[in-house]
A and B are shown apart, each in its own frame.
Chain A
Amino acid sequence: MIKLRWRAPAGTGDVQTLVQNAIDLEFATLPPYLYARLSILPGTNGPATARLQGIILQEMIHMCLACNIMNAIGGTPAIKPPHYPGPLPGDVGGALVVHLLPFSQAAVQQGMAIEEPSKPIDPPKLQAVVGEKTVTIGEYYHLLDLALQNLPVSDWTANRHQIDDNQFFPGQIFAVNNYADAHRAITQIVSEGEGTPVTPGEDGSPLDFQNELAHYYRFWELERNQVLIKANNPVGYAWDGVLGVDWNSVYPAIPDPETHDFSKDPPAAQQAQAACNQAYTAMVNALTGTFTGATGGLGVAVRAMFDLRMAAMKALHTPLADDTSVSGPAFLYLDVPQASARGHAP
Chain B
Amino acid sequence: MSVLEIPRIYFKGKIAWDPVTTNNYPVAQAPAAYDEDDCDSTLNSQTVRSAQVAGFRQAAVNEIVSAGNWNPQGSYRSPFYETQISGVDTGKGLDTTDPFVTAPVNFTGMLVDTEPYGAYSSQLFFDAMSFGIDGGCRVFGPRTARLNDRYINFNANPNNNMIAGVASVMWQTCFPKDKGLRIDSHDSPALQALAAAMAEADVLGVMVRFCTYRTVYFDDPGLSNGSSGATKAGQDLQAKIAAGGFQPNPARSLLVGTLGIWRAGDPMHEPGDRALLTTGVQIPVGSNPNPAVCGSAWARVGEDRVTLDLSNCIPAQNRATDKIDLGELTLVAADPPPAVAIMEIGKIPYALYDRAAYEATSGIIDIKVDPGIAKQLAGMNLGLTGSAAKYLQEAPLRAVPSDPNLYLDEGAKASTMVQVYDRGVPAEAGIAVTMSELGATQPTAVKQTTDSNGRVSFQLSATAGSVTGLVFQPGDNPVLPVTNAFDPQLFTYMYLRVLPADSDIAVLPPTWDNVHNYVLSNWEAMAPCMDNWLRLGDEQQVKVYAPVIKRLTDPANFEDFRFMPVTRDMSAGQRTLLYNFLDGGVALAANMAPAAGVRAGQVRRNFHRLSRAMRGT
Contact = CB atoms under 8 A, between A and B. Distances in A.
B136 A303 contact: no
Contact of A230 (B187, B246, B604, B616): B187
Nearest to B535: A310
A247 to B, nearest CB: 6
A300 B245 contact: yes
Interface stretch (B62-70, B196-204, B236-244, B353-361): B236-244
Interface in A210-260: 210-213, 221, 227-230, 232, 237, 240, 247-252, 254-255
Contacts of B477: none
Given A44-B613, A213-B135, A254 B599 contact: yes
A335 interface: no
A154 interface: no
Interface residues of A, number: 56
B136 A230 contact: yes
Given A213-B135, A301-B245, A303-B531, A296 B240 contact: yes
A324 interface: yes
B605 A227 contact: no
B164 to A, nearest CB: 18
A314 B588 contact: yes
Interface stretch (A63-71, A155-163, A166-174, A182-190): A166-174
Interface stretch (A3-11, A129-137, A315-323): A315-323
B246 A294 contact: no
A267 to B, nearest CB: 12
Interface in B563-601: 588-589, 591-593, 595-599
B531 A319 contact: no
A86 interface: no
A312 interface: no
A232 B187 contact: yes
B440 interface: no
Contacts of A295: 239-240, 243
B82 A171 contact: yes
Interface string B76-108: 000101101000000000000001001110000
Interface in A75-106: 104
A30 interface: no
Contacts of A251: 605, 610
A283 B242 CA distance: 18
A297 interface: yes
A111 B339 CA distance: 73
Contacts of B99: 230
Given A41-B610, A248-B605, A300-B244, 19 more contacts: A167-B247, A211-B104, A211-B133, A227-B134, A228-B135, A229-B135, A230-B136, A230-B137, A248-B603, A250-B605, A252-B597, A295-B243, A296-B243, A302-B246, A303-B244, A306-B531, A319-B591, A322-B597, A322-B599
Interface of A: 41-44, 47, 104, 164, 166-168, 170-172, 207, 210-213, 221, 227-230, 232, 237, 240, 247-252, 254-255, 268, 286, 294-297, 299-304, 306, 310, 314, 317-319, 322-325
